[in-house]
């Protein structure tokens, strides 16, 4: 069983608030990823990291930012949440070949 955790699972927040979505893994993987997924839609890569102090933007433009200060931790931050940020956010980590996902954070901005 993969050990990758996301908190919170669900979050409802007002417009303009700053939020941080947490993602932690205990597998020692260097590579970590954030995906955004709307209901019934495909996964879109928004950020990735290949190790500590390495972060890159993904294929889908996002107003969020990420940091990678520790191998096991890859938080995603939205400085000012908007209703257009309402979505499911999935974190993944990858060993040599397979990627493992967390359970996701379902974010609703009202």
Question: Which residues contact other proteins by CB under 8 A?
Answer: 2, 6, 31, 33, 40-43, 45, 48, 50, 88, 90, 94, 96-104, 106
Least distance CB 68 / other proteins (angstroms): 15
Closer of 18 and 107 to other proteins (Cβ):
107
Closer of 28 and 50 to other proteins (Cβ):
50
For residue 84, report the phi and psi dihedrals to the nearest 5 degrees.
-70, -15
Cis upstream peptide for 74 (omega within 30°): no
Closest CA to 91 of 41, 17, 29: 29
Least distance CB 79 / other proteins (angstroms): 25
Closer of 30 and 73 to other proteins (Cβ):
30
Closer of 79 and 106 to other proteins (Cβ):
106
Alpha carbons 110 and 91: distance in angstroms, whole number: 23
Alpha carbons 35 and 64: distance in angstroms, whole number: 11
Least distance CB 39 / other proteins (angstroms): 9
With contact defined as beta carbons under 8 Å apart, do 89 and 75 qualify? no
């Amino acid at each position: 069983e993969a050990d990758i955790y996301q908190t919170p699972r669900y979050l409802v927040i007002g417009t303009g608030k700053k939020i941080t979505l947490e993602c932690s893994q205990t597998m020692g993987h260097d590579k970590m990823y954030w995906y955004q997924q709307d209901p019934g839609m495909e996964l879109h890569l928004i950020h990735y990291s290949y190790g500590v102090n390495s972060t890159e933007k993904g294929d889908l433009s996002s107003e969020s930012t990420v940091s990678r200060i520790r191998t096991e931790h890859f938080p995603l931050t939205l400085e000012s949440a908007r209703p257009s940020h309402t979505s499911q956010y999935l974190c993944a980590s990858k060993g040599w070949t397979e990627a493992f996902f967390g359970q996701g954070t379902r974010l609703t901005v009202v």
